Structure 1
Amino acid sequence: MSATEIPSGAVVRAVGPSRTRDGRPLGSIPLVREPFLSASRVPHVTFPSNSPARGSLRRAAVASALVLCGVAGLAACGKTVSVTDASPAPAAAATSAPASQPPAATAPSGQPSSNSGLQVVDSTAAQNGLTGNGGTVVGLAVQETPPKWVQLSAVTSPRLGSHLINVNQATLYRFDQDTAQPSQSNCAGDCAAKWPPVTVQEGGKAYLAGVDPSQVGAIRRPDGTIQVTVGGWPIYRFSGDSGPGDANGQGIGGTWFAVGPTGQKATP
C-alpha cells in the first residue's frame, strides 16, 4: 500500500503545515492514519464512588430528568388511575348462565359508561400554581359537589404517628368494615353523613406530599361519585373534626382509624 492510499473506515489527520520546510507539498510525505473508533469500541470509564467527576455526572443526570419532567408538565411526573366500580362483583355462578341469555350490562344503567380516571400528581397543589382548597369543605359542612382536586399530605403527630391530612389539614380516616382488595366502601347513608367520603370530580387531580403515587386510587360509589383510596382503602373525613389537626374520630367503634400513607392504620 502506498503512503497516500487510505483504507476504508480510516480517519486521516494531517500532521504539520501544508508544505514541508524544503518546499515539498504535503502530499509527498506520509500521512498518519488513525483507525475509526466506533461507539462499541469506546472504552467504559468508571469513576470511584468518591470521585468529584462521578458526583457531577449524577447531578447532571438528575437535572436532565427534572428538565424533562418540567417540559412535559408536572402532571406527567405522576399517573392517571382508572376508577373502579365499588359495587359488589357478580357471583361466579352467574357465568354459567345459558348461552341464549343476553350478556349482562357492564355497569348499572344509572352510572356513566365513561371513565376519565383520576390524575395523580407527585407534587403539591401549591407547587403546581394552585391556591385555595379546590372546593374541599371542612367539618360538618356537606360536600354537595365533589372538588376539582384534592391534596393528600403525610404528617406525623405524637398521638397518631404518620397519617394523612387533606389540604385543609383535616385528618383522614379508613373504615375497618371496608375492604382494600378489592377496594370497596361499606359506608353509605347515615354513615357517609357522619364520615364524608373523600371525593373528587371524575378526571380531577390528587396532589401528593409524602405519599407514593402507586398507593393512590379511586372507586365509583353507588351514587356515582368518585372516592379516593389509599393502599386500596377508601378514605373519609370525620364530621366531628372542626379544626386543623383534630382527630376526634380516632378509634371510634373500634373500626375507624386515621389512615397512613400506605393505607395502614395510623398508630404512634
Structure 2
Amino acid sequence: MRPGVRALAAAAVLCGLAATAGCGKVVFIGDAPASSAPPAGSAPATAPATPPPAPTATGGSQDFSGTAQPPGNNTLELVDGTAADNGVSGNGGTVVGAAVQQEPPNWVQLVAVRSRTLDAHLVDVNQSTLYRFDKDGADPSRTACEGECAVTWPPVTIKQGGKVYVRGVRPSAVGGFKRPDGTVQLTIGGWPIYRYSGDSAPGEEKGQGIGGTWFAVAPNGQKAVPNR
C-alpha cells in the first residue's frame, strides 16, 4: 500500500459492529432486469421519496442465516475482515490493470481506505481502486458498461456462492446481480463496481473523474469525496 493510503479504523462502520445486519449473512443475487414495464394488472410503481441505502430489487441483501436459501436465487456469503484476517492467502483470482479476468474470482475483498487525494473509498485485495459509473442504475442494479467499455472498466465479478471479505463496509451495502452475460457483478449501495484497466500499481486512482461519469466508489456506494 502506498504511503498515505490506510485502512479505515472506525469501528462504527466495521462489518460485524455495524448497526445493520452483521456478517456471516447470505446475499441473494438478482437477475439483470429484462424490462422496466410492470407486470399486467399490477399497480403502477411509485418512486421512493429518497433513495434506499442499499439495493432492494436486484442486487439486494437479506439475512437468511439459519433459514432455507430462497428458491431460484444464487447466493454470496459476507465475511467479517480481510481474507488474511481469516487465514486466506493469495488474491482469489482477482487480476490487476489491463489483465483479462478469464474466470470470476473465487472470493473478493472490499476494504475502505483513504488516500492523499480521496476520502473513504474502496479497494480490492490488490489495492486496486474500485469505481462506479454514473450511467449505471442502482435501484434496480443494472449496468450500462458492456463490450469495449467492460474491457476498459472490468466489472468486479465473483463466482456464484463465493465469499466477500469486507472491512469498513456496512453489510447492508453489499449486493450482487447477474450481468446480461450471466456473470455475477458485485454492487455497493446498489451501484455496480468496477476496476480501471489503466490502474496498474496499488493505490492508483487514474480512473477518477474520467468522462465526468467514472468515480471512485465510497463504502456506501456514493462517489468518493476528494480531499481538500
Give the TM-score normalised by the residue count of structure 1: 0.63
Segments of structure 2 that go 5 or more residues without pairing to the other structure are: 1-15, 17-21, 42-70
Distance 1:77 1:266 in 2: 24
In the other structure, the counterpart of 1:17 is: none
Q: How big is each residue's C-alpha offset from its partner over 1:92-145, in whole Å with a ceiling of 9 and x where there is no partner?
A: 2x515xxxxxxxxxxxxxxxx953211111221112110000000000000010
Find the partner of 2:88 among 130, 136, 158.
Answer: 130
Task: Say what the alpha-carbon RMSD is for the aligned residues.
Answer: 1.8
**Counterpart of 1:154 in 2: which secondary structure?**
strand
- Which residue among 8, 22, 31 is the counterpart of 1:85? 31
1:95 aligns with 2:53: no
Query: Unpaired runs of 5+ in structure 1?
Result: 1-68, 70-75, 97-112
For 1:227-266, what aligned pairs fall within 5 Å after superposition?
227-266=185-224
CA distance in 1, matches of 2:167, 2:103: 24
Q: Describe the SS at the equivalent of 1:151.
A: strand
Match of 2:45 in 1: none
Partner of residue 124 from structure 2, selected from 154, 166, 169: 166
Is the counterpart of residue 180 in structure 1 residue 126 in structure 2? no
Higher helix share: 1
Number of the residue aligned with 2:108: 150
Distance 2:117 2:32 in 1: 32
Whether 1:208 and 2:153 are equivalent positions in the alignment is: no
**What SS class does the counterpart of residue 30 from structure 2 fall into?**
strand
Residue 90 of structure 1 and its aligned partner are, at CA, apart by: 4.6
Question: What secondary structure does 1:211 align onto?
Answer: coil
Contact 2:134–2:213 (8 Å) recurs in 1: yes
**Matched residues in 2 for 1:90 and 1:261: separation?**
28
SS of residue in 1 equivalent to 2:40 = helix
Whether the 8 Å CA contact 1:87–1:221 is kept in 2: the answer is no
Does the Cα contact within 8 Å between 2:33 and 2:140 map onto a contact in 1? no
Task: Give the whole-Å Cα distance in 1 for the aligned partners of 2:23 and 2:218.
Answer: 22
What TM-score results when the alignment is normalised by the length of structure 2?
0.74
Letter in 2 for 1:89: S
Kept in 1: contact 2:111–2:168 (CA 8 A): yes
Task: State the percentage of identical aligned residues.
Answer: 61
C-alpha deviations, 1:203-248, integer Å up to 9, x for none? Answer: 0010001111111000000000000000110000000101101110
2:98 equivalent to 1:140: yes
The one-letter amino acid of 2:35's match is A
